[in-house]
Each structure stands twice: as C-alpha cells, then as structure tokens.
Amino acid sequence: MIGEKITDRESLLAYFDALLAPTKKYRQTGNGRLNLGSSATHYSDDEAQIEGFLRQLWAVGPLYGQGILTDSDFKYYRQAILDGVNPQHQYYWGQITDYDQLIVEMAALAVTLIETKVRFWDTLNKRQQNNIYHWLNQVNSVGVWENNWRFFRILVNVAFIKLGQPADHKRLVADLELIDTMALPDGWYFDGNPRQMDYYIPWAMHFYGLLYAHYMAKEDPEHSAQFVGRAKAFAQSFQYWFDRNGAAVPFGRSLTYRFAQAAFWSVCVFTNVEALPWGQMKSLIFNHLNYWQTLPITKPDGVLSIGYGYENLYMSEHYNGPGSPYWSFKTFIVLAVPADHPFWAAPMTQPKRAARIQIAPAKMLVTNQGGTNVMLYPSGQYSSQAHSDEKYSKFVYSSRFAFSVGTGRHGLEDGAFDSVLAVAEDQSDLFVAKGKNLASKVTTDWVQHTWSPLPNVGIVSTIIPLGEWHVRIHQIVTQRALQVADGGFSNLVPDSHADSHPALDYPGGLAFQSSIGTTAIVNMLGYKKLQAVFPSPNSNLVYSHTVILTTTVALSPGTYLLISAHYGGTDLPLATPDVDYDGKQVTVGWAGKDVVVPL
C-alpha cells in the first residue's frame, strides 16, 4: 500500500501527493514534458512526454483553482504551459496535424484554464493569453476522430467561451450533434464504434458531458440537462461493474488508466450531480482507490507503470506511453470539491444491488454474487485495438480473477485461454479463440455468440450465468478435424511450476484453491480430458502467475454438442448445476430454477 487507507478528504489528498511526488524528479523548469520511461507509442517520443505533463493537469488544474494547491505548487506548471504554447520558445509543443495525439491532451489544459481563470489566466499579459489561445485553437482546423475525441474540441471551445475568447460555435454545435448520435437508452453511449461500450463511456463520454453541463448550464441549458440526465440514468447500471471490495471488472481497452474507472463517480461529485446517494459514491470511489493501493502499480521510482495490476507491456495498446497512466488522475478531480460539500460528511454506504441485471444497451449480463466478484457477460462487442479478442470477446470477465492476454502463438500456455473456447486444427499448436461475433443474442437468462474460428467451422456458444457458476453450451459444426480446449477462470499461483501446484479432484471435474478464491470446471457433456494449464508469466492482468483449469477434446469432421460448467468464487462449491439434454434442447437447473436453451 502506497499510503494510509483512504477514509476522508485528507487521506485522499495524501494518496494524490504520493503519486504526484515521484514525477517531480523528472521535471525541467519551463519544459512541459516528462520523460517517464523508454517505451514507445505510435506517436513521437516528444508528444509522449508532452502527454505525460498535460495529463497531470486533470488533477492539478482543478486543485489549484480551488486553492488546494498553492502558487508555489503550480509554479512549474505555469511556466511550462507558457513556454509550451510559445512558438518562439525551445520548449514549444508545436503545430498539430489531423488526428494528432495532442488533441487528446488539449482537454486537460482547457479544463485547467477554466478552473484557474482567476489565479492563472487573468494574471497573464495579452501575448501570453494569445499564445495559449492560438495553440489550442489549432483543434478547430484539423481532423478529429468521430468518437469521444470530439469532446476534446468541445471542451476547448467551452474554455474559449469562458475566457472571453473567439470560439468556433459552428464546430461546437456540430460536435454536440455528433455526440448525440452516439447516445443509447438508459444513459449509455457507444464510443464511435457501435460495438464498443467499455470504460470510455464513464471516463470519457460522461466525464466530459458532465463538465460541459457544469460549465454551460446557462449558455446551453438543453444539452446540459441532457448530459446530467444521461449520467444519472447510466449510474444505475454502471455501479454493477464494481464489487464490494472496490475492484472494477477489467474489460475493454486502455486498462492501463487503472483507477480512472472511478472517474465518473468523481466528476458526478465535482459537478454536484447526485447520480447515487453521496455516501454510495464515496464508497465506490474510496473502496476503488484502496483496492488499487494493494497492487504494485508503480515502478521502483514511484512512477505509475504501463500495465494493470502490475507493470506489463503485453496488455498495452500502441497508444500507451510512459505518461499515459496519468489519465487516472481524472479521478482526483473530486478533491476540488469544497470541504463543506455534503459528499465529505456523508457516511460511506454500500449500494444495494440485485444479484444479476441485464444491461440491454451494452448488450451484456452482469452478476455480482455476494458482492465480491463481478462477472460481466458481454455479447457483440469488439474493437480494432491490440488484443481486442481478449479484451472484448471472452465469454465472461471477472473482477476477482481478471483475464489474460496471449503472450505468444504456440500452445495453450502462450495463448492463456481463460474464459474462452480455443480451437486448433488437428496436429497444430496454433489455437484461436472467439473474435468478432457473426451474430449475438442476449436474454435475461443467457448470452449467445455465433462465430467461426476457422474456415468451414461454425460454433454457437450459449453462456448461462448461475451465480458463481456458469454453464457453456457449444454447438459445433466442422468440416475439419479439430482440437478444442474450454478454459475456465484464471487462478493465482506463486510460480508456473505445474508439478508444485496440483489441482483438486472435484466431482466430474477439477478445482483449484488459492488466496484469492476457488475455481472449478466440470465436464457435463462431450469432453474427454481435464487438465490444469499454467500459462506464460505476465499473461493475466492482475496476477503474474496463474493456472487455468481446462477441459479438452479432439473432434473429427461432424456435428457436436459440448457442455461444461465453470465456477469462480470464494469456497469450494457444495453443489453443481444440473444439465439435461433431450436431443432438442438443453435444460440447466440451479437454485430451484430451470433455464431452457432450444437447439
């Protein structure tokens, strides 16, 4: 743990200070760049270093504006901003081009200018103000992706309005109209891609929408009210992505932003939107940050690393640079809320949640049995970023057991195939799992995926959540001889030495127990072998060494029905779901209820 447990405003501020302090050794006076590491992105190293500087402003700007940070604290940022926007200075940030990474980083500066208008902007001379304006105004003459990026230009033009500078009202209106086309029922959005409903919805679409509503309530009451209304609706289902211990279910891209997962709750408080009762949002924020304090998310020098539960480049995307993780500082915007706000006095309370909900706009089921393990069952989601199959297309994602990404191409160990059905041709070690669905369906009882891992191989996979269990039904039609491996949840081991960590016999299958919980797998129909697979180190996002209980079978060309049950919980399960197949349908019984899946 980096610091003391977060229980109040003072301990939260101490955690922010503990994360900011290690970056100070990398500062150069007047240089708005932080060289925090040597790994690269698809954009230049120079822009990556500028990103590392500007992302800190998501917290530093609002905190300085509210007097929590002093003039002395802000002195470095002040000079670096002024030199960064000065085209005559050696530290100038430069001209931007279409779809430039610095478009992303402009938003933090725009919000900082609004929040620090009196303490910073109003103290500048006309030349300094013009330099800031002209550097930011470049965003109004370049291409900007048609997704959450449009909010960056929106916020820049909002800053111009608030600072009394010429804004591009035509682009502002057009960008807001585009954002509206991405709105879905129940407060959800998609992020440019209709197949993508991930953490960019809370930490981007809603985060920026609430800032817009906060700043533009008088100038644009209609859009402001829409953004607030959507956020309140969204909160009702998004709360289910967090377990009682503070962990959010890892799912989707950009997970190196870590505790930005709670930024939505922080911006709700910052903009005085009581989307859930104050005490419940406090519990969500504080428990989440305390969870992250238990994980080794910083490098030895104290700087946030690229990775998730630990430093890990396997799971990163091509836009993750050494300074990228400071996107997480968005969550510290809650510190800019005045000390007399009712949020700070409200006692922490746990939201009351159902054991399972269907989030129809996001095409998923979410269970939270006992509150200590969120399981997210998505359908029809996909992105074109690195490891998209693993980040969007697994059958289930868990807040307790996390998920894995492949580290190589050969065998089950390299593939780290947890929570998927992996398929390879006979005599091949090149396994593939589900990527983009050909068709998808979600009901209140199950999620169904139609997919094809190889030419002339068709699979329909139906996943039935049953508390800490779930049952998988795979209908396979193949013209090829195949090897099939159905992997359960990852579980923690101290090393990858298989002989040192035998699985337990369990009726019809195997089980494995560790300090994080229990996993189990049962062959219900069609599989021939059960085994414990020890994937390559650093494949799981939270645990550097894991074991995946897996059931396998070899198939000749033909038609098959395979059924397995998978468990992820605290203790060894005392009962197993009942499965009956009568040739036309599968009936799954659990806790006094039958779920029927027609075939």
What is the band of 169 on the pLDDT scale with cuts at 50, 70, 90?
very high
Quick one: pLDDT at residue 213?
99
Q: Cα–Cα distance between 391 and 170 in angstroms, integer? A: 37
Quick one: pLDDT at residue 329?
99
pLDDT tens-place string over residues 278-291 = 999 999 999 999 99
- Per-residue pLDDT at 479 exceeds 90: yes
- Per-residue pLDDT at 487 exceeds 70: yes
Q: Are 411 and 397 in contact (CB under 8 A)?
A: no
Quick one: pLDDT at residue 284?
98
The architecture of the domain spanning 9-345 is: Alpha/alpha barrel (1.50)
Buried b (16+ CB within 10 A) or exposed e, 326-347: bbbbbbbbbbbbeeeeebbebe
Q: For the domain covering 357-598, report its CATH number.
A: 2.70.98.70
DSSP notation for 520-576? EEEEEES--EEEEE-PPTT-BSS-SSEEEEEEEEEE-SEEEEEEEEEEEESS--S--
Q: Under 8 Å CB-to-CB from 464, ≥6 apart: which residues?
A: 445, 446, 470, 471, 472, 473, 588, 595, 597
Quick one: pLDDT at residue 53?
99
What is the band of 187 on the pLDDT scale with cuts at 50, 70, 90?
very high
What is the band of 147 on the pLDDT scale with cuts at 50, 70, 90?
very high
**Strands annotated E in 395-481:** 397-398, 421-425, 439-442, 447-451, 457-466, 469-478
Buried b (16+ CB within 10 A) or exposed e, 567-599: bbbeeebeebbebebeeeebebebeeeebebee
Q: Cα–Cα distance between 21 and 28 in angstroms, integer? A: 14
Quick one: pLDDT at residue 376?
98
Quick one: pLDDT at residue 351?
82
In this structure, the dihedral spanned by the alpha carbons of residues 114, 116, 122 and 127, taken in order and rounded to 10 degrees, is -80
- Per-residue pLDDT at 94 exceeds 70: yes
Mean pLDDT of the chain: 97
What is the band of 128 on the pLDDT scale with cuts at 50, 70, 90?
very high
What is the band of 363 on the pLDDT scale with cuts at 50, 70, 90?
very high
What number is the average pLDDT over the span 263-272?
99
What number is the average pLDDT over the span 161-182?
99
Quick one: pLDDT at residue 369?
79
Quick one: pLDDT at residue 384?
78
pLDDT tens-place string over residues 529-575 = 999 999 999 999 999 999 999 999 999 999 999 999 999 999 999 99
Retrieve residue 44's tokens. Answer: 């230049």
User: Domain extents for the chain?
Assistant: 9-345, 357-598
Buried b (16+ CB within 10 A) or exposed e, 366-394: bbbbeebbbbbbbbbbbbebbbbbbbbbb
What is the band of 1 on the pLDDT scale with cuts at 50, 70, 90?
low
Quick one: pLDDT at residue 386?
82
- Per-residue pLDDT at 367 exceeds 60: yes
Quick one: pLDDT at residue 385?
81
pLDDT tens-place string over residues 399-435 = 999 999 999 999 999 999 999 999 999 999 999 999 9
- Specify the range with the lowest mean pLDDT, choosing from 103-107, 193-197, 548-552, 592-596: 193-197
What is the band of 114 on the pLDDT scale with cuts at 50, 70, 90?
very high
Retrieve residue 406's tokens. Answer: 């492949």
Quick one: pLDDT at residue 352?
84
What number is the average pLDDT over the span 224-233?
99
